[in-house]
Amino acid sequence: MAGAADRAFREICVGYGASYVVGEMASSKGISMNDKKSSRLLFISADERPAAVQIFGREPETMASAAAAAMKYEPDIIDINMGCPAPKVAENGGGCALMKDPLLAQKITRACVKAVPVPVTVKMRAGWESGDHDAVELAVRCEDAGAAAVAVHGRTRVQMYSPPVDKDIIRRVKESVSIPVIGNGDITDGKSAAQMLSETGCDMIMIGRGALGRPWVFSLINTYLDKGVFLPEPSVEERMEVMLRHIEKLCEYKGEHIGIREARKHAGWYIKGVRGAAAFRAEIGAVSSMDHLRRLADKVAESECGQ
C-alpha cells in the first residue's frame, strides 16, 4: 500500500467506516536522518484516528530510535512492517526478509516496545517461501517481545499476491498466541470478510488492495457483518463523485502538481470494470489538472448512463 495509503486515502476510508488505519511504511533509517519524505509519511490528522504509523528496517537500535522519533506525530500505535515483499525492501533485509530471521525480528520488536509508550504491532506474511510457513514462530516470538497484536497476510513472499490466501496459517497463528490476530488477504466484500473471521477465528480483519478505488468497501463489510445485508456497489456516477472528493483532498494536502500526478493511479482503480475503461485509462495518463479530471469523470459517468 506504499504510495497509495496516504492521508487523503485514509481519511476517505475512515469516512466509509474503517475503524482503524495504518500509514504508509517509513524507513527507520530515513526517520533517523530526519528525511522530509519520512516526516510526510508519519503525519496523522485528527480525521483518521485511531491510526498507526508503520516503520521498517532490520537494525534493532535504529528501529527503536525511529519508533521513538515517530512519537512526535502522536500515533496511537507503532506498527512494524515484516510483511512487505517488495524487492527494494526485502533485498535490504527489511519487510518480509525478517521472516527468515525470527530471532532478529524478536529483538527488533522488543527494542521498539521498550522505546515507546504506545502499543507496538507487527505485520507479517505466512512465510518467505511456499510451503515454508514461519508466521507461527514469528508471531509467538513477537508476543514474547511485547507486541500488542499481529496482522497476518496469508501468502508467502514468493507467492506475492497469488494463489488464493491461505486462511489455515492465520488460524494456526490465532491458536498459538493470546494477543489479537488480524487476518489479511483477499477481503473484498462482506462475504469474504465474514469467511476470514469465521474460518480463522481472527479478532479483526485488514483490507489493503481491496479498498483501492473502492473505499466504500468498509461500508459494505460493516453492513453485512452487522445486519447480514448486502449493499450494492455504488453507481458509476457515485464512484466518480467519490474519486473527485478523494483527489481534491490529495491536491489539497500535496499541491495540485504532485496530487494530479499521483491521482492517475487512483483514477485507474476507480474506473476498473467500467465500460470503456481501457480508453479512459489512456486519457487518465494525460490528466494534467483537477479541471481536466472533472471533465473526464463527467465523460465516464455519461458513458455509463448512455448505454
Amino acid 169: pLDDT: 94
CATH class of the domain whose range is 7-227: alpha beta
Where exactly are the structural domains of the chain? 7-227, 236-305
The residue among 54 and 128 whose pLDDT is bigger is 54
Beta bridge partners of 125: 153
Q: Which three cell numbers stand for residue 121?
A: 504491532
At 33, the pLDDT band (50, 70, 90 cuts) reads confident
Q: Which residues carry out catalysis?
A: 84
Cβ count near 34 (within 10 Å): 9
Amino acid 191: pLDDT: 96
User: Using CA atoms, how far apart are residues 224 and 210, in angstroms rounded to an integer?
Assistant: 16
- CA angle, 67 then 69 then 74, to 5°: 85
Scan for cell 483501492, then name that residue: 212
Which of helix, strand or coil describes residue 81?
strand
Q: Which fold, 236-305?
A: 1.10.1200
User: Using CA atoms, how far apart are residues 152 and 174, in angstroms rounded to an integer?
Assistant: 10
pLDDT in tens, 207-244: 999 999 999 999 999 999 999 999 999 999 999 999 99
The residue among 232 and 276 whose pLDDT is bigger is 232
57 contacts 63 by C-beta, under 8 angstroms: yes
Cα dist from 127 to 68, 156, 161, whole Å: 28, 5, 13
